[in-house]
Amino acid sequence: MRSAAPRLRCALAVLLASACLAPACKGRGSRAPEPGAATSTMGRWSAWRDLSPLVEVARSHASKPTIAGLEQASALLRKGQPRAAERALAALQDAEGRDWIAAARGDLAALYFTVCIRGVAWRIPEKASESSARTLDFDEKTKVGVGDLAVEPLLSALDQAVETKVPALQVQARIARARVTAYVSRCAPNDDVARLAQAIVKADLAQLAAEGHLTPDLAYLWGGIQLSEFSGSAAKPFLLQARDAGFDDPSLAYLLAVIALEQRDLDQADAYAREALAVFEKAGDPEQEAQVRFIQGEIARAREDLPAARKAYEAALARAPDHGAALLALARLLLDAEGERAATVAIGKYLQALLGTGPLGAEAAARAAAELERLVILISEPALGLVCRAALLDAIDSEPEPLRRGIRYFYASTLDIRLGEFQAARGHAVLARDELAEAGGEPPVDVGELLRNLESFD
């Protein structure tokens, strides 16, 4: 049986990208945890919603006015008034206990902001919502409001607080900074800031984990990084730690299902997947529902229940037609059971849905090219490369739209290269160039670069 690991990693990457933090690619930055490193979290997740764990620690270390300000903000959060709580804390940002206030503002902002405006400001609502949805708004026309929280000064205040000589405050400031930079890494004003934020959050999480100071949400994030960079065995203790402390992110059960599947605990994987599916169905989130359906397909395939696997993969594609991992899993299944033509037809249906019919606009063409790029990158087996190429070229001469033909020829050429067929790659690249030139406008792919790269194989 072929390993599901590449497809699982793809599914995990998509899921984590939609969660609080998209973990970095494998490489330097964090270390694998020691066995049993995860123990218990700092506070219950429900308690952190009104900053109670922070307030409790501050009572033994901060001044009376600072404690009073923190308690006031906590009381406002219990009433569901995050913006009023932020205003109460902002009034004390230059007072004696400013470092404690910075930690509280960082926690509050990360827990409650609903809109990130171009990576420079966060909008905190007047009333708390049960939804955890965050909007990333990079529209230049969106104005930063008077009550919006500027991100850079917040991070500067947290950096200062982390350098304090009070160990308890250091921990609280590091917790807040990890939370804030986790979101900054996803919504930053530029790539340099995003990379810096990602480095900071990983370093802070590593230190908090080593000290046993992870909060429920940060245990979840750290577990996600361990799963992405190391293994399910490294991640599982932290994810269970988050779960035991009441952290209720819907993707938590999904990640535990992925780990159970990798460890071949199929009954447990199925139980976690069912739990995650119920949550995503209730939330009306088709993309994440497709992720779970895909995992259910992998579980069924591991059980050698091929009809159930096919049903699950098809259900994933019905919810998210651009789910490349599910498509390739279905194609592999069909290739083994029914032959090359059946697999080619399955991928052909995906391409038809992706590329559509009739005139292809520039925006739709760019989106289709990006999806095809992701699909091609996922292909690791020559047999699937052959099938995908066949689907791209199938009945291409009857396609009336030159832009659509050009995109098909371009990605057929990239698959030729993957298959080591360089003469065919040059031929398809030239055809792509000619078709895109006939289409006119700015092409969604760089055929010139492809042809230059092919010259190196002469």
The CATH number covering residue 295 comes to 1.25.40.10
Secondary structure (3-state) at 458: coil
Secondary structure (3-state) at 93: coil
Give the range of the structural domain holding residue 445, as residue numbers without chain letter: 342-458
Indicate if 74 and 91 belong to the same structural domain. Answer: yes
CA distances from residue 371 to 7, 322, 375, 377, 406 in whole angstroms, order as listed: 16, 7, 6, 10, 15
199 within some domain = yes
pLDDT digits (tens, 9 = 90+) for 382-436: 999 999 999 999 989 889 999 999 999 999 999 999 999 999 999 999 999 999 9
Secondary structure (3-state) at 354: helix
How far apart CA 304 and CA 266 sit, in angstroms, is 12
End position of a domain, from candidates 308, 337, 366: 337
pLDDT digits (tens, 9 = 90+) for 272-307: 999 999 999 998 999 999 999 999 999 999 999 999
13 within some domain = no
Pair 376, 350: CB distance under 8 Å: no
Q: What is the pLDDT of residue 360?
A: 85
Neighbours of 187 (CB within 10 A): 23
Helix (H) or strand (E) holding 52: helix 52-58
Q: How confident is the model at residue 40 (pLDDT cuts 50, 70, 90)?
A: low
Instruction: Give the residue-averaged pLDDT of 260-283.
Output: 95
User: CA angle at residue 183 from 178 to 189, to 5 degrees?
Assistant: 120
55, amino acid identity: V
Q: How confident is the model at residue 359 (pLDDT cuts 50, 70, 90)?
A: confident
Least confident span in 21-35, 260-274, 359-373:
21-35
15 within some domain = no
Neighbours of 271 (CB within 10 A): 15
Angle, helices 266-283 vs 251-262, to 10°: value is 160
Pair 114, 123: CB distance under 8 Å: yes
153 within some domain = yes
Q: Which residues pair with 135 in a beta bridge?
A: 115
Indicate if 193 and 48 belong to the same structural domain. Answer: yes
Indicate if 353 and 321 belong to the same structural domain. Answer: no
5 within some domain = no
pLDDT of 14 strictly over 80: no
Neighbours of 327 (CB within 10 A): 26
Q: What is the pLDDT of residue 41?
A: 77
Sequence-ordered list of residues with C-beta below 8 angstroms from that of 68, at least 6 positions apart, any chain: none
Residue 190: both structure tokens together: 């530029």
How far apart CA 317 and CA 331 sit, in angstroms, is 12
pLDDT digits (tens, 9 = 90+) for 426-449: 999 999 999 999 999 999 999 999
143, amino acid identity: K
How far apart CA 243 and CA 45 sit, in angstroms, is 9
pLDDT digits (tens, 9 = 90+) for 205-239: 999 999 999 999 999 999 999 999 999 999 999 99
Indicate if 203 and 349 belong to the same structural domain. Answer: no
Q: What percent of the chain has pLDDT over 70?
A: 91
Q: What is the pLDDT of residue 322?
A: 85
Least confident span in 46-55, 116-125, 156-165, 360-369:
360-369
Least confident span in 37-46, 340-349, 391-400:
37-46
Indicate if 197 and 254 belong to the same structural domain. Answer: no
Helix (H) or strand (E) holding 255: helix 251-262
9 within some domain = no
Tell me the pTM.
Answer: 0.80
Q: How confident is the model at residue 39 (pLDDT cuts 50, 70, 90)?
A: low
8 within some domain = no
* Domains of the chain: total: 3
Pair 267, 240: CB distance under 8 Å: no
